[in-house]
Structure 1
Amino acid sequence: MALSSVPEQPVVVDGRRLTCEHVRRVARDQAPVRVHPDGVARARAAYEAVRAVQVEQPVYGRTTGVGANRSVEVTEPAHGLRLLRSHAGGAGPLLDAARTRAMLLVRLNQLAAGGSGVDPAMLDVLAEVLNRGLVPPVRTFGSIGTGDLTALASVALCLIGEAPWQYGSLEPYRLDPADALAFISSNAATVGEAALSLADARELLYASIVIAALAFLAVDGNPEPYAEAVHEARPHPGQQAVAARLRELLADQPIKPARIQDPFSYRAVPQVHGPAIDAAIHLERVLAIEMNSAGENPLVDARHRRVLHNGNFHTAYLGLALDAMRVALFQTSALSAARLSTLMEPEFTGQRPFLAAGPEGSSGLMILEYVAQSALAHLRQHAAPAALATAVVSRGVEEHATFSSQAARNTSEAVYAYRVVLSCELVATVRALRMRGLTPAPGALREAYELADAALSPVTTDRSLDEDLDQAARVLPQLAGL
C-alpha cells in the first residue's frame, strides 16, 4: 500500500501525548510518525534495567514459560521465537489496513512510555513500518481482552521475516527472543480500534445536534425544552452542553412553534443525546490513559531497577467505557429514527405523506424509515454489554476476561450503523425544508443546510435513494466541523 500523499506535520510519538485524533490521522490519512527522543530514552532505561534483573531473579516470559507454564524455567534462547510462532494463531478475516495501522501506532507509543524492556531499536522499526505503509496480516479473532497476543505475535513474525507483509517488504529485524513476550503483551489492537471508533463517533455526535436543529425547523418545533433554566434545574454536563448548542444553533431563527409540546424526539434531545456526549468524554479519558501508559506485564520499573508482575493487561476500564458508549449511541440513534418518522407525517410538515411528489400514491422517502430501522437493529444487536461475559483459560490460571476486544469491534459496528441512521434523517430533513420553502437564517444552520443542499439531489420523484444516503454520509464530517 503506497502512501499517496504525506501530510507535512508528523505525529510525534513520545509515550505521553497520543490522542484518538492522532490515531485516526495515522491510521486513515497515512500521516507520518516521528519518535521523540524522550520515548527512546524511557525505552532504553527499561531495556537496561530488565537485563540486569533477569540474571538475578525469574522474570515472566523471559526466563519462564507463560500462562499455566509460568513456573517452568526456560533457558533455551529460542523459547521466545517458539512463543511468537505458537501465539500467532488468529482466525477469521484479516483486519483492514486502518485498524492494523492503529494497532501499530498504539503499540509504538506504549513502548515509548517505557516499562516493556523491549530493545529501544524497535521504536524506529515500528515507525518505519508505519511510514512505509506496511501492513501485517492480522486476523480478527484471537483476543479476549487480556492482551492482543495473536495480533501482535503476527506482527512480530513479519518483523523478523518469518511471515510476509500484506503490502511491501522490510529488511528482517533481529528481535532478541527474550523480548518476544514483552512485545506482544499489550492490548494495542483493541485500544487502536477503540480510538478510531471514538474519533468517528464523536464526529457523528456533533453532526447529530446540527441535524436535529434542522429537523426542528422543518417541523416548527417548540424551543422551550432547550431553555437554560430547564437544564440548570437538572445540570448534567452533557445535557447542558447539548441544550446550549441547540440554543446557539437556533438563535435568530424565525421560530413559530406549532405545538405546546413536541414529541420526545425533539423535546428530549438534550436528555438523550447528552449522555452520549458524556460517554464519549469518559471513553476519551480512558483511552488517553490506555494509549499513553506502560500497561505491561511484567512491568519494568527502570527507576528502581525492578520488575513487577501485575494485572495491567486487564482492560475492565476500557471494556466498560466502550459498553456505555454503545448503549448511549443506541439511545440517541433511536431518537434520530423517531425524528425521521415525524418528517414522514403531514401533521408535522404540512406536506404529503413521506414527503412524496408526483402521482398520488408515490412513496417518496418511505423506504428511509426501513433503512434507518434496519441500521438501528444492527446497532441494538451490537450494543449488548460485552462485559456480561467472561472466560477461564490456560488450565484455570487465567480465570477472568473482559472481552474488551469484542466491545471495541462492536463499537465499530455501532458507529457504522449510527452513521446510516443520521444520513437518513439528514436526507429527509433537507427535503422537508426544500418542500416547505424554508431556508435557515444566516449562521451555522444556514451553512449546514447549504452544505447538505449542495450535496443532495433536488429530484423529488420516486427513485433510488442509495446515492443520496452516500452523499449525506459524506457531508456529516462537515456538519460536525460547524
Structure 2
Amino acid sequence: MIELTGSLLSIELAKKIVYENERIDVPDQIWAKVEKSRGAVENIVSQKKVVYGITTGFGKFSDHLIEADDVEELQLNLIRSHACGVGEPFPEKVSRAMLLLRLNALLKGFSGIRKEVLELFINLLNHQIHPVVPQQGSLGASGDLAPLSHMALVLIGEGEVFFKAKRMDTGEAFQLTGLSPVTLKAKEGLALINGTQTMTAMGLVNYIEAEAIAIQADYIASMTLEGLRGIIDAFDEDIHVARGYREQIQVAERVRSILKGSFLVTHQGELRVQDAYSLRCIPQVHGASWQVLDYVKDKLEIEMNAATDNPLIFDEGRKVLSGGNFHGQPIAFAMDFLKVGVAELANISERRIERLVNPQLNDLPAFLSPMPGLQSGAMIMQYCAASLVSENKTLAHPASVDSIPSSANQEDHVSMGTIASRHAYAIIQNCRRVLAIELICAMEAATFRGTEKMAVTTRTLHALGRKIVPAITKDRVFSKDIEALTAWLLNTDLEQVLINRQDTKGEIVK
C-alpha cells in the first residue's frame, strides 16, 4: 500500500502503482486539507462572490456570471463539451498514470474538490479501471483539457474504460465492480481538467522506458565492441575523469564492468590505433543521453507533485488566485529534450549496425550472411534501422517552439507539450527496435568470433538473446526476429536479469 500526499510522489513509487498495480491510500491529515479547501468553494458560492471558474464561465466566457442553481449544469457541460479528443487511445498504462497524477495534484488541497470525487479516483486505480483517452486534441495549456475531459467523463459514469483487458462503457465496469459515478459540484469539473497530467503521465511512461533503453544500449554496445574487436583503452577511467561528466564516467565504468574478462576486445595498436567514433565515443554519446534523462526526471518529479489547475485556493479561501500553472511549457521542453536524447541512442546504434554488416568496415562475413551473395543476411536489417532513425529525426523536431492561439485569443500562447510527449513515445519505440537489430547483428558477430572468448556478462546476454532469435543459418523473415527481440527488451529488466543469471563465480546459470 502506497500513501499519496500530493507532495512526495517519485518516479519509483509511481512505477509501482502504474506498472505493478500497487494499491493506494490517503492519510487523514491530507483529507483534512481537501475538506478545508472544499469548504472555501462552498462559501464562495453561497456568498455569490465573483470568482473565475466557480461562479463564472471558462476561458473567454470568464465574464459570464453563473447563477448558483446552474453550477452543477455548468460543470457537466464543461466536461462533455471539452471531451473533443480524437485518434487512437493512449496506452492503458498512460491513462492509469493520468488518474494517479491528477489525484495526487488534487490532494494538495488547493483545488476545492470534494473527498467523494477523489475517493472514486482511488477506487478506479485500485480496481484497475482505466479511462479510454484519445491521444490527439490537446494544446498543452489551460492544461490538457480534451484528454483530461475524457478521463473526467468516467467519473460521472460516461465515456469508456479499459477493464480486465476489455474496452467497455463506463457504466458496465461500474456495475461489475459496484462503483457509482459522482455528480460534479461547483468548480469540480474545472479542477479535474485544468492541469498537465496527460503530458506528464505520458512523460512518466516515456522516462521509465527510456531509462531502460539507455541501460540496454550500454550492454548491447558492449557486445558490438566484442564483435568488432573494439579497443577497450578508450574506456579507461582516466580519460573520462579528465573531462568530468558524471554520466560519461558511469557509462565507461559500466562498459568496462560488462566486458571484464573478455578475450575479444583489443588494446590500442594491437589491431588498429583507434576505433571509429560510434565505438570509441560510446561513453560521450550515451553519457550525454543520460544527462538528458537526469534533466527529464527532475522536471517530471516536480510536475508530478505540482498544483496545476486554476484558480488555486489558499488560506482557507481568503485568497483565491487565477494564474497559469496549467501551462505545460516545462514538460514540453523536457519531452522535446528527451526526444533528442533517445534519438541519439538510436543514431549511434545504427552506425554500429553499419560497422557490423559492411564488409568494407570489418573482417566479418559480408552482411553477416551465411552464404554471401546467395543469401542477404542482415543487409536489409540495416535498411530498417536507417529508416527508423530517419523517422526519429522528423519526430525530434521540437513541438514546444510551436504555438497557436485559442479561446478567441484569451489563451494566446500554448505549449504543445502533449504532442512532444507523444512524439517522444514514438521515438522510444523506434529506438528499441534499432537496438534489437544491433543485438541481432552483435550476436552474429560474436558467434563468428567465438562465444567462449566473450566476457561472462555479454556471453550471458548472448545466451538469453539466442532463446529469442536463433543464429542466422539461412535467410528468413527477419521482421519476426526484430519484433520478438523488441518485445523481449520492452518486458525485461536487462541489468537485473543478467545479474541474476550469473553465479558467485561469474559463470552463466543455465
Asked whether the two chains share a fold, i.e. TM above 0.5, the reply is: yes
Counterpart position of 1:6 = none
Counterpart position of 1:318 = 331
Q: Alignment partner for residue 129 of structure 1, among 124, 132, 135? A: 124
Aligned 1:250-265 pairs, distance under 5 A: 250-254=259-263, 255-257=265-267, 258-265=271-278
Query: d(CA) in 2 for partners of 1:154 and 1:220?
Result: 54
CA apart distance, 1:135: 2.9
CA apart distance, 1:320: 0.7
Counterpart position of 2:375 = 362
1:157 aligns with 2:153: yes
1:97 aligns with 2:92: yes
Aligned 1:74-473 pairs, distance under 5 A: 74-75=66-67, 76-77=70-71, 78-146=73-141, 147-165=143-161, 166-167=167-168, 168-169=173-174, 170-254=179-263, 255-257=265-267, 258-302=271-315, 305-346=318-359, 349-358=362-371, 360-439=373-452, 443-473=456-486
Partner deviation per Cα, 1:139-164 (whole Å, 9 max, x = no partner): 22221111111222223233223445
Whichever residue aligns with residue 478 of structure 1, its letter is: D
Q: Is the 8 A contact 1:44 1:119 kept in 2?
A: yes
Q: Secondary structure at the match of 2:400?
A: helix
The verdict on how the C-alpha distance between 1:442 and 1:259 changes in structure 2, with shifts beyond 3 A counting, is closer
Whichever residue aligns with residue 313 of structure 1, its letter is: F
Whichever residue aligns with residue 112 of structure 2, its letter is: G
Counterpart position of 2:25 = 34
Q: Is the 8 A contact 1:53 1:306 kept in 2?
A: no
- Bigger Cα displacement from structure 2, 353-362 vs 305-314: 353-362
Query: d(CA) in 2 for partners of 1:360 and 1:151?
Result: 53
Q: Is the 8 A contact 1:330 1:383 kept in 2?
A: yes
Counterpart position of 2:493 = 478
Query: d(CA) in 2 for partners of 1:364 and 1:336?
Result: 19
Q: Secondary structure at the match of 2:341?
A: helix
Counterpart position of 2:50 = 58
The verdict on how the C-alpha distance between 1:440 and 1:21 changes in structure 2, with shifts beyond 3 A counting, is farther
Q: Secondary structure at the match of 1:386?
A: coil
Q: Is the 8 A contact 1:21 1:199 kept in 2?
A: no
Partner deviation per Cα, 1:264-292 (whole Å, 9 max, x = no partner): 11011111111111111111111101111
The verdict on how the C-alpha distance between 1:422 and 1:405 changes in structure 2, with shifts beyond 3 A counting, is same
The verdict on how the C-alpha distance between 1:221 and 1:459 changes in structure 2, with shifts beyond 3 A counting, is closer
Name structure 2 gaps, 5 residues minimum.
Answer: 162-166, 499-510
Partner deviation per Cα, 1:426-459 (whole Å, 9 max, x = no partner): 0100111012213455543333233223332134
Q: Secondary structure at the match of 1:18?
A: coil
Query: d(CA) in 1 for partners of 2:342 and 2:332?
Result: 15
Query: d(CA) in 2 for partners of 1:364 and 1:149?
Result: 49
Query: d(CA) in 1 for partners of 2:159 and 2:381?
Result: 46
Query: d(CA) in 1 for partners of 2:64 and 2:453?
Result: 72
Query: d(CA) in 2 for partners of 1:451 and 1:164?
Result: 40
CA apart distance, 1:130: 1.9
Q: Is the 8 A contact 1:218 1:433 kept in 2?
A: yes
Q: Is the 8 A contact 1:349 1:436 kept in 2?
A: no
Query: d(CA) in 1 for partners of 2:365 and 2:266?
Result: 21
Counterpart position of 1:3 = none
The verdict on how the C-alpha distance between 1:215 and 1:197 changes in structure 2, with shifts beyond 3 A counting, is same
Query: d(CA) in 2 for partners of 1:328 and 1:122?
Result: 39
The verdict on how the C-alpha distance between 1:470 and 1:24 changes in structure 2, with shifts beyond 3 A counting, is farther
Q: Alignment partner for residue 61 of structure 2, among 52, 57, 69? A: 69
CA apart distance, 1:128: 0.9
CA apart distance, 1:304: 7.3
Partner deviation per Cα, 1:277-313 (whole Å, 9 max, x = no partner): 1111111111101111212211112467421211111
Q: Is the 8 A contact 1:14 1:37 kept in 2?
A: no
Superposition RMSD in Å = 2.1
Query: d(CA) in 2 for partners of 1:177 and 1:56?
Result: 12
Q: Is the 8 A contact 2:232 2:266 kept in 1?
A: no
Q: Secondary structure at the match of 2:460?
A: helix
Whichever residue aligns with residue 62 of structure 2, its letter is: R
Whichever residue aligns with residue 109 of structure 1, its letter is: N
Name structure 1 gaps, 5 residues minimum.
Answer: 1-9
Q: Secondary structure at the match of 2:440?
A: helix
Counterpart position of 1:16 = 7
CA apart distance, 1:348: 5.4
Counterpart position of 1:5 = none
Q: Secondary structure at the match of 1:425?
A: helix
Q: Is the 8 A contact 1:160 1:175 kept in 2?
A: yes
Q: Secondary structure at the match of 1:92?
A: strand
Query: d(CA) in 2 for partners of 1:400 and 1:440?
Result: 59
Query: d(CA) in 2 for partners of 1:441 and 1:344?
Result: 20
